[in-house]
Amino acid sequence: MNAPLPASLLKQHLIDPEICIRCNTCEETCPIDAITHDGNNYVVNPDVCNGCMACVPPCPTGSIDNWRVIPRARAYGVDDQFGWDALPPQEPVESLLAEAQAVAQAVAGQGGASASADAAPAFATPESASAALASAALAGAPDDALIEEGVAAAAVVVNRGATVPPWSAAHPYVNLYTHKEPVVATVVGNYRVTDDAADSDVRHIVLDFGEASFPVLEGQSIGILPPGVDARGRPHHARQYSVASPRDGERPGYNNLSLTVKRVAAGRDGNTHDGLCSNYLCDLAKHDTVRVIGPFGNTFLMPGRSGANLLMICTGTGSAPMRAMTERCRRRMDGKENGKLMLFFGARTRRELPYFGPLMKLPADFIDINLALSREPGQPKRYVQDLIVERAADVLALLNDDKTCVYVCGLKGMETGVLDALEHAAVQAGQDWSILHQALCRQGRLHFETY
């Protein structure tokens, strides 16, 4: 545990605007609503944050894990943080020390010895004070007990998935390239993967990294920096896309990866700005270059253990990580490493389902495919959760096997429906869902990536 700070100092929790990809995960995770955002930044309200760390493990970039020691009276307010392009530097320990001692003396003058002791618990000697401040400024967490409390709070409040990877997942690399130092990739392919007659234009985009090292695992994502500036003249923020290819590349032996990107005709709120980066990507031609940051993500990862089962549930372009994992398994189909693969995939129609053709060519004894079509003419509207309910017994058998990991990716709205369907599968068999759900979360076996 870190040495305690004087009461007049605060170890303030901050989000690095240069690394943050504005994915909203932290705001969703915070159990006490201390995180908020405007059109520019995600920020932490110092009046609300208790440093519980609940938001830290789920953050895909690590931008959330930033701390500055500062006098409480000068804590960075929400409005200050909204205006930042970069984090302020940590103020020198010596000046903080002097300021805190001045506060302690003022308090002692006003309120007596007990106030003085309370104000400066770590100041037995100047050396110990400096050491305490330096370690507080440098260390990530404010307090070990709070971390445990916070992670537990996140599990309870968010109540959906794991904040740890499967124990057998390979080690992921994250943040190798940042806003300040992106890597430039070259487009080597851009193909439509929805039917030509479908309304949705979903593209399979292949990026080559040339000589640059860009290691990714299935389930990780990358950030794309669209060119140009926003209305305030600032460079656009990065947008996050899941990698759709396995770790050895879209083409094995090549230093490349693929993305699944849908052209946006108008944002869900009618705001065309939503599609800024997706449309930029969809319009890229072979040999164009694109600035990339990342990789991101250290929990939504596939198990490495032999015989692991994958239960994959996705909608639309949320199929990207499922394609990556399925392709990883397909490439090693001859071996005995694969367990069972079960896929629930939702799209409006067959024609709008990305990768429909290649998917349907996969052998039934390799992957159990369940398509939920919501607007197929002449058919009842089906969502993935409806099919999970229909296949409840098979789904439950997988959930009860500790070699199974579950992945949910796609529309935010599907989360509740999918969780309800998984609960239904357990309950109809007389099983306690809360126990099973907690085990899935604790063991890093249930993962969500929804927007």
Residue ranges of the binding site for NADP(+)? 242, 262, 317, 374-375, 381, 410-411, 449
Q: Give the shortest CB-286-to-ligand NAP separation in angstroms.
A: 20
Two tokens, residue 176: 């190798």
Looking at 382-413, list the stretches that DSSP marks H as alpha helix, in order from N- to C-terminal side: 384-390, 392-399
Q: Which residue is nearest to ligand NAP (CB)?
A: 316
Contacting residue, 58, 142, 172, 410, with ligand NAP by CB under 6 A = 410
The H or E element spanning position 105 is helix 93-111
* Rounded-to-10 torsion of CA 303, 308, 309, 313: 0
Contacting residue, 301, 347, 398, 441, with ligand NAP by CB under 6 A = 347
Whole-angstrom distance, CA of residue 409 vs CA of residue 24:
15
Q: Give the shortest CB-410-to-ligand NAP separation in angstroms.
A: 4
Q: Per the residue annotation, which of 218, 250, 376, 449 is the catalytic one?
A: 449
Cα Dmax for the chain: 82
Q: Does 262 bind ligand NAP (CB under 6 A)?
A: yes
Please tell me whether residue 435 adopts helix, strand or coil conformation: helix
Q: Does 383 bind ligand NAP (CB under 6 A)?
A: yes
Q: Does 355 bind ligand NAP (CB under 6 A)?
A: no
Long-range contacts of 271-279 (CB under 8 A, 24+ apart): 276/226, 276/236, 276/239, 277/224, 277/226, 277/236, 277/239, 278/239
Span from 22-30, 71-79, 187-195, 258-266 in contact with ligand NAP (CB under 6 A): 258-266
Q: Does 317 bind ligand NAP (CB under 6 A)?
A: yes
Whole-angstrom distance, CA of residue 110 vs CA of residue 67:
31
Q: Give the shortest CB-186-to-ligand NAP separation in angstroms.
A: 20
Span from 76-84, 105-113, 255-263, 421-429 in contact with ligand NAP (CB under 6 A): 255-263
Number of residues in contact with ligand NAP under rule CB under 6 A: 25
Q: Does 258 bind ligand NAP (CB under 6 A)?
A: no
Instruction: Say whether 8 is catalytic.
Output: no
Two tokens, residue 400: 């009860």
What single string gives the DSSP state of each residue in 125-181? Answer: SHHHHHHHHHHHHH-S-S-HHHHHHHHHHHHHHH-SS-SS--TTPPPPP--SB-SSS
Q: Per the residue annotation, which of 241, 280, 383, 407 is the catalytic one?
A: 241
HSE-CB of 196 using CA atoms within 13 angstroms: 0
Instruction: Say whether 242 is catalytic.
Output: yes
Q: Per the residue annotation, which of 242, 245, 258, 319 is the catalytic one?
A: 242
Contacting residue, 2, 25, 258, 260, with ligand NAP by CB under 6 A = 260
- Helix axes of 126-138 and 93-111: crossing angle, nearest 10 degrees: 120
Q: Which of residues 161-220 bind ligand NAP (CB under 6 A)?
A: none
Sequence letter at residue 431: Q
Q: Give the shortest CB-115-to-ligand NAP separation in angstroms.
A: 53
Q: Does 267 bind ligand NAP (CB under 6 A)?
A: no
Q: Give the shortest CB-241-to-ligand NAP separation in angstroms.
A: 4
Strands 338-347 and 308-315, by their bridges, are: parallel
Q: Does 315 bind ligand NAP (CB under 6 A)?
A: yes
Binding site for ligand NAP (CB under 6 A): 241-242, 260-262, 315-318, 320, 346-348, 374-375, 383-384, 409-411, 413-414, 417, 449, 451
State the catalytic residues.
241-242, 409, 449, 451
